[in-house]
Chain A
Amino acid sequence: MSIFNELTKKPWLADPSQIDGAPANQALFLPSGKVGLRVFLVVVTVVFLLTTIAYGDRMLFANWKSTPEPWVLWLNTFVLIASSVAMQWARNNTKRGNLTGVRDGLIFGGVLTISFLVGQLYGWQLMVESGYYAHTNTANAFFYLITALHGAHMIGGLIAWGRSLLKVREILRSNGSVSDVKLSVELCTTYWHYLLMIWLILFMLLLIS
């Protein structure tokens, strides 16, 4: 459906075809969960975009002093990439109907994500040990802010991940169909890929500043 075509319709004229046309009531031929996630990702994008703009704005100040990124961020980045790959593996297994594969993919993905978060905390510890406190330099403050915001979104994702994993366990127990969990895994995977992309952009921003 083209939104522009839709907006130029004249609803005061009788048009029975609009009743008989099968999907007339859905703007997008997608499950509501997917539409909901996409709308949510737009909101998250605005949050990170505004944070990035604020970061860029402050970088222009004359007294801007960049902060060194702890080495562990590189490792964390690879861990997050691996978690995204694991989630994709789980998703691929939903298409193959391999429920144990879905479970294993989810477990790997989740454990790697938790490792990523622990790694980020370790990064904070390294910063603090080196004397790079939030209040000593605005670049440090942005480092803590950006990693905290990203981490909070990952924790939110882990709640959905936990629910999906429980669902898979339940289906395995009851010999249910993989289709019951397909959408949940797809949504988790999309969210993981998205947060990986956000992290790569933020990490690049931290590196170039």
Chain B
Amino acid sequence: MSNGVIEDSQVIPAAEVEEVELYHAKSFITKWVFCQDAKVIAIQYSVTAIAIGLVGLVLSWLMRLQLGFPDVFSFIDAESYYQYVTMHGMIMVVYLLTALFLGGFGNYLIPLMVGARDMVFPYMNMLSYWIYLLATLILAASFFVPGGPTGAGWTLYPPQSISEGTPGINGGIILMLVSLAFFIIGFTMGGLNYVVTVLQARTRGMTLMRMPLTVWGIFVATILALLAFPALFVAAIMTLFDKLLGTSFFMPEMLVQGELGPHENGSPLLFQHLFWFFGHPEVYIVALPAFGVVSDIISTHARKNIFGYRMMVWAIVAIGGLSFIVWAHHMYVSGMNPYFGFFFATTTLIIAVPTALKLYNWVLTLYKGNIHLTIPMLFCVAFILTFLNGGITGLFLGNVIVDIPLSDTMFVVAHFHMVMGIAPVLVIFAAIYHWFPKMSGRMLHEGWGQFHFWVTFLGSYLIYFPMHYLGFVGVPRRYFEIGETSFVPESAVALNEFITIMVLIVGFAQVVFIINIIWSVFKGKPSGDNPWNSTTLEWQTATTPPGHGNFGKELPICYRWAYEYSLPGVKADFIPQNLAPDKIK
């Protein structure tokens, strides 16, 4: 619109546009490498994220080997241990979970689910992936520079992160910060695509309130990420200034070997505020897409409409808004004003309300549903339990009075792994088992899937339930070696050994999962177009996997919301979103 005049070409719905100008690949390189098709970009994002995620997984094994069997593995020293901790945390949170949920599922599902041919800015979308890959390679390069990667902890708090004595003080921390800056630039390019595609490129009839909750989750999470990542960007750039130019944004005056250091009166607390202004919304950047995916999968596999759709949408939006005013609950022990503590404890309790509401709605969706215990459904039910567990311990830690004694203990590690590690990863598995048939045209192997699910689900609980106990008895986190500490009981040592063995077993199950994917791509049972009898548009494509432009010659028209299951008086137990009313039997 310009000068208040709407031009015809600007308001014609996509479905009425005769032929949308699409990017057409002309060679193998432009089709599979520098490709602008969102589906290919999604797979590129997913493969990269899973590859770097596997590095993160191996790092967790190394960490656990040290904690379970200290002094046994000579190649693990205190320095490398902290490097494993740092890289594991950052890789899993940013480079795996964020990239996979938004870059992977976002790219694959948004255009298909809203009935668009592609993202609205395909070239920028392609750039987004390549910048993400560059960021990942820069991060991985830090393993090979002298001194290795940074060991400052995943929060990269100054002054430690850039002070002498911290592992990776020369190359490692610089590469980490540069990598984060690139990641954020790349993500912004992708994020603009996701938001604008949802707002502007939906097919006819696909109103906002007819969108599947997966799209709502990814959409709001992307908005959160676009608003939250700048805080990390600014923090990273300022830390780089402190490191490379000797400025004192965050670096306080310190004594170094008995003499005054080069910095003066920087504010480490300012970094913490910036970091957690990003860091807490980051939890929901990962959780909201997971919420959406779970809603769609349990509705499909319970053959029942999602309970309280409007409430679910409002809850996603409310959680998104509230996630920006809870950040300082990560900083209770930083010496903040008690009134601030009170404020952030209160907002933390408030954000639990819409979150709990979603949990109730999932359970009510299952209630009296025609539940099919498929692998995706199993993972979703496991998610509901796990998120409930992690959420409740989050309420513990959100209260100042409980948080202070538990701060810096293994309880915190157990809590955030349940709520932000295991829970979203269970959803990622659910989503892969659910949408793999659409991506490849083949089903994943059921037996291996069952093995993968039960070992992962039960194994995770055997890892993290004991870890809560370790926290309660006072076992501190971040310690390379507990040694003979008087307040740590003997049982903690045995429990650490047990946890480590379980970590290795659960890790092995992930190897089986990867093998299942590779095997099924070539040998899996053909899935057909819509193996789950699902209503949403991605299952109604003319071909499986969907071809270039997603929907063949004509875009689908959306006639209804995404949850029309088991309708009385209708022969089939589902009605696709694009089935015209006069064709319903």
Contact = CB atoms under 8 A, between A and B. Distances in A.
Are A and B bound to each other?
Answer: yes
Interface of A: 3, 6-12, 14, 16, 18-19, 22-32, 34-36, 39-40, 42-43, 46-47, 50-51, 54, 57-58, 61, 63, 95, 134-135, 138, 141, 144-145, 149, 182, 186
A37 to B, nearest CB: 9
A56 to B, nearest CB: 11
B12 A22 contact: yes
What's the dominant secondary structure at chain A's contact region? helix
B199 A27 contact: yes
A11 B563 CA distance: 10
B248 A54 contact: no
A134 B264 CA distance: 12
A26 B7 CA distance: 14
Contact of A63 (B195, B206, B207, B265): B265
Contacts of B195: 39
A14 B580 CA distance: 12
Nearest to A156: B185
Contact of B207 (A24, A29, A39): A24
B72 to A, nearest CB: 45
B210 interface: yes
7 contacts: A6-B209, A18-B205, A25-B202, A47-B234, A61-B267, A138-B266, A144-B245
Contact of A36 (B1, B6, B192): B192
Contact of B249 (A24, A35, A58): A58
Nearest 3 A/B pairs, CB to CB:
A135-B246, A141-B247, A11-B561
B370 interface: no
Nearest to A24: B207
B200 interface: yes
B255 interface: no
Contact of A31 (B10, B208, B264): B10
Interface stretch (B151-159, B223-231, B463-471): B223-231
A36 B241 contact: no
B31 interface: no
Interface stretch (B309-317, B427-435, B505-513, B531-539): B309-317
B121 interface: yes
A95 B14 CA distance: 26
Interface string B234-268: 10011001000111110000000000001011110
A138 B203 CA distance: 52
A145 B199 contact: no
Contacts of A54: 234, 238, 249, 270, 274
A138 B234 contact: no
Given A14-B560, A138-B266, A29 B10 contact: yes
Contacts of A36: 120-121, 192, 196
B175 interface: no
A134 B247 contact: yes
Nearest to B120: A32
B249 A46 contact: no
A17 to B, nearest CB: 10
Contacts of A16: 559, 581
How many interface residues does chain B have, given as a range?
Answer: 35 or more
Give the one of A11, A26, A149 with max B CB within 10 A: A11
B265 A8 contact: no
Given A9-B310, A46-B227, A61-B267, 18 more contacts: A3-B208, A11-B310, A18-B205, A18-B207, A19-B204, A25-B200, A26-B202, A30-B200, A43-B227, A47-B233, A50-B274, A58-B270, A134-B247, A135-B262, A138-B264, A138-B265, A141-B248, A186-B2
A134 B245 contact: yes
Interface in B187-229: 188, 192, 195-196, 199-210, 226-227
Given A28-B199, A134-B245, A58 B192 contact: no
Contact of A39 (B1, B196, B210): B196
Interface string B140-161: 0000000000000000000000
B205 A24 contact: yes
B196 A135 contact: no
B91 interface: no
Contacts of B241: 134, 141, 144-145
A155 to B, nearest CB: 13
B558 A19 contact: yes
A24 B267 contact: no
Contact of B305 (A12, A24, A25): A12
B200 A26 contact: yes
B207 A11 contact: yes
